[in-house]
């Protein structure tokens, strides 16, 4: 039978207390909120909820077949109403959206 020294006992208590202190920090990350179309930075990036409403005069590289669902920076699943955009820090955008940072997905 092993005996626990006072030093080992205190060490184990300290490890346990540290784990309890850190537990709230390592909880699962909460989903980010949706990116509003009227957000000032989003507007500066030409973000629209529907690619058909993009300002093609201001963003001549825009094409109607470009949308968030076809962008490398979008990680929503097919069929989702919204998905995270890494350019906007994981904020949620609709698959129909668009902004000037559109990067086409590589062909599968
Ligand atoms: S970076 Fe891509 S996914 Fe994000 S808003 Fe712009 S077009 Fe959509």
Domain borders along the chain are: 29-93
Cα 101 to ligand 1 centroid, rounded to whole Å = 6
Q: Which atom of ligand 1 is nearest to the CA of 45?
A: 6
With 70 as the cut, is the pLDDT of residue 105 above it? Answer: yes
Mutate to test the pocket of ligand 1, among 87, 89, 90, 104 (most ligand atoms within 8 A of CB): 87
> Residue 96: CB within 6 Å of ligand 1?
no
pLDDT digits (tens, 9 = 90+) for 42-92: 999 999 999 999 999 999 999 999 999 999 999 999 999 999 999 999 999
Query: Which tokens hold the place of 88?
Result: 């906007």
Of 16-20, 26-30, 56-60, 90-94, least confident by mean pLDDT is 16-20
Burial 67-85 (b: 16+ CB within 10 A, else e): bbbebebbebeeeeebbbb
pLDDT recorded at residue 1:
44
- What beta strand segments (E) does the chain contain? 83-84, 92-93
Q: Is the dihedral of CA 11, 13, 16, 20 positive or negative?
A: negative
The average pLDDT across 8-20 equals 55
> Residue 95: CB within 6 Å of ligand 1?
no
Query: Which tokens hold the place of 64?
Result: 């109607």
Q: Which CATH class is domain 29-93?
A: few secondary structures
């Amino acid at each position: 039978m092993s005996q626990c020294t006072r030093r080992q006992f205190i060490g184990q208590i300290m490890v346990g207390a540290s784990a309890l202190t850190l537990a709230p920090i390592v909880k699962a990350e909460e989903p980010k909120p949706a990116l509003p179309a009227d957000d000032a930075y989003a507007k500066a990036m030409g973000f629209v909820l529907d690619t058909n409403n993009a300002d093609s005069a201001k963003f001549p590289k825009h094409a109607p077949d470009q949308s968030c669902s076809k962008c490398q920076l979008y990680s929503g699943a097919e069929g989702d109403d919204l998905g995270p955009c890494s350019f906007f820090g994981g904020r949620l955008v609709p698959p129909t959206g668009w902004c000037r940072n559109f990067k086409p997905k590589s062909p599968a």
